[in-house]
Amino acid sequence: MKYFQDVVFRTIGLSVIIGLFFAGIGSVFADVSPDETESLFNDTVDETAWGSFEPPRDEKYDWIQLVSGEWLKGEIISLYNFSFEFDSDELGLLNIDWDDVTQIRSAGIISMRIQDKGLQAEIFTVVGVLLLFENEAVVMVNNQVKTYKRKQVISIAMARNKESDLWRAKLFFGANVKSGNSDNVDANIIVSTMRRTSSSRFSIDYTGNYSRAQNIETSKNHRFDSYYDNFLNRELFWRVYMAEYFQDNFKNIADQYSLSTSFGYNLIRSSKTEWEVSGGPGIFYKRYVSVEAGEDIDNTSPLLALGTKYDTEITKWMDYLFEFRFQFVDKKSGSYNHYMITTLSIDLVGDLDLDLSFVWDRVARPQPVSDGTIPKQDDFQVIAGVSYEY
C-alpha cells in the first residue's frame, strides 16, 4: 500500500512541475507577436546555419559568393575588364561587377593572368584550381599553393578544352522592305565574333549593306575587320595585327586592303567602361573600279593607323559604343580616310537587343571614275535593327 502511495505522489508532483514549465513558456511567448516570433526564429537560423554556410567541395560546379552573402552555383566563364561572367545553374549567363564578387571556388582548372607588383612589372599566367577570398587569390598548382593579392588579378578564363567557352558572338540584322507604288529593299548585317583568354583577344567582324530601289541597285558594300591583341599589363596592349578589307563600287573602290601593327593603351578600364586608344604603321592597297585615262588602276601606300574605342554601360539595360578609326595614306590612295560607328544598344528580351547605329565613312580625295565623275567624300547611314548575342 505504501509503495502505491509513493507512486501516486510522485506522479502528481511530476505533473505539477511539467505544468508549471509549460505555463512559464506560454507566458513568455504570449506577449510575442507572430512577426516577432518569426524574426526570432530567422535570427537564430542565420546565426547558426546560414551565417556559417560554405559550399561543399564540388568537382562539377563552380561556386561564387556575392557581396550580399548569396552563393551561386554554376560555371565560371571569364573575368575581363572588371566584368565577371558566370553561367548560373538556375539563372543563366550573368555579367557581374568584379567588385560584387567576394569569393570564388572553382571546381576545375582556371587560367589567371597576374601582374606582379607595380604597373610596369612582369605579367604572367597561373593555371590551377582557384580559391578567391576578399583580398587574396589562392591557386593550387601541381599540389603547390600560390597566393596573390586580389588587385594583382588582371583576367580569368577557364583552362578547359571546351573551345566554345572562349568565344562570344553577336549577330545584327536590320531590314526595310517596301512594295506597291515603289519597291525598296534595304538590308544591313553585322556579325561580331571575339575569342578571349586571360592573355589575349582575337576578333573578326563583318558589316554588309545592300539597298535596291525600283529594281535598281543603289548601295552595296562589304567590310571585314580582324585583329589580335596581346595584353602586356593592365593598361598596355600590343595589337599584333589589324587587318581590314573594304569594297564599295559606288565609292569607286573595287578592293581596299590594309594591314598594320600598333600599340594600345586603356585610358579607362573598369567594370562598366572601357576606353582605349591605339596607333601604329602599316601598308595600304587600293584598286579602283575605273579611272580616267592615264591614271593607275591601283596603288600601294605606307599607312599610319590610329583609332579609339569607347564602350560603356549607361544603365543595366542600355549600352553605348563609339568607335573611330583613322588611316593616313598617300594622295593616290585618298590621303586620308576614316570609319566611325556609334551604337546605342537596348535590352529587349533574353539575349535580344534593339540596336540603333550611326555610321560615317569618309575619303578625303576620292578617285574620279572613267567619265570624270567624282564620288562624294562622305557616306552617312542610320541603321536600326535587332541583334542576338551568344
Q: What are the pLDDT digits (tens) for 127-169?
A: 889 999 878 999 988 788 889 988 888 888 876 556 777 788 9
Q: Any residues with CB less than 8 A from the CB of 144 and at least 6 apart, and which?
A: none
What is the number of H-type helices and E-type strands within the chain? Answer: 2, 22
Domains of the chain, residue spans: 2-51, 54-161, 165-389
pLDDT-derived band at 306, boundaries 50, 70, 90: very high
pLDDT at residue 45 greater than cutoff 60: no
**364, containing H or E segment:** none
Quick check: 79 and 156 in contact, CB under 8 A?
Answer: yes
The pLDDT confidence band at residue 320, using thresholds 50, 70 and 90, is very high
Report pLDDT digits (tens) over 87-129.
887 888 788 888 899 999 988 888 888 887 654 567 788 888 9
pLDDT for residue 350 = 79
Tell the residue number behind the cell numbers 540584322, with chain if given. Answer: 173
Residue 62 near residue 104 (C-beta atoms within 8 A): yes
Q: What is the pLDDT of residue 278?
A: 96
Q: Is the pLDDT of residue 21 over 50?
A: no
User: Over pLDDT 70: what percentage of the chain?
Assistant: 83
Residue 180 gets the label, from left (phi > 0), alpha (psi -120 to 50) or beta, of: left
pLDDT tens across 367-385, in order?
999 999 999 999 999 899 9
Tell me the mean pLDDT in the region 277-304.
Answer: 95
For residue 35, give the C-alpha cell: 512577426
pLDDT given at position 121 = 61
Cβ-based neighbours of 318, under 8 Å, separated by 6 or more: 344, 345, 346, 347
- Note the pTM of the prediction, 2 decimals: 0.70
Asked if residue 321 lies in contact with residue 299, where contact means CB atoms within 8 angstroms, the answer is no
165-389 has CATH 2.40.160.40 classification: yes
Alpha-helical runs (H) found in 268-309: none
pLDDT of the residue at 117: 65
Q: Which residue has the higher pLDDT, 85 or 248?
A: 248
Task: Name the CA dihedral angle for 39, 44, 47, 53, rounded to a multiple of 10 degrees.
Answer: -100
Mean pLDDT of the chain: 83
> In which residue are the cell numbers 542600355 written?
318
pLDDT beyond 80 at 340: yes
pLDDT score recorded for residue 13: 52
pLDDT of 192 reads 94
Instruction: Pick the more confident residue, 204 or 7.
Output: 204
344-373: average pLDDT = 92
